[in-house]
Amino acid sequence: MKGVLAFPIGLNYLMGKNKSSFEAGLGLTPHYADTVIDSPTNPEIIEENGWGANGYLNVGYRFQPPDNGFMFRLNWTPVISSTGFLAQNFGVSAGYSF
């Protein structure tokens, strides 16, 4: 079976009071790839098959009540790999915190 299996590990720090906060963090994503390297669907962060790792940063806004309730995140997560700095990763999260 072809594909990529990744294990993201990260640390985030929240700065703010009450419901709104600035979120900053960093992490490492070890991965195992078994894919066609020259494929147009292959992400730019995979250079060769086998084990590898990429770093990432996380910067964003988090709305989360101190108790249970609706939570929302908006973030930018650039990837740092052997191919360079990939800045095109943005994310939105919504859910219920408990």
35 DSSP 8-state letter: S
Q: Where are the domains of the chain?
A: 3-97
Contact 83, 42 (CB under 8 A): no
Task: Tell me the average pLDDT across 19-41.
Answer: 84
Residues 40-56: pLDDT tens digits?
A: 655 566 667 889 888 99
Neighbours of 9 (CB within 10 A): 9
Contact 75, 58 (CB under 8 A): yes
DSSP states of 47-70: -SSEEEEEEEEEEEEEE--SSSEE
The yes-or-no verdict on residue 93 having pLDDT over 90 is: yes
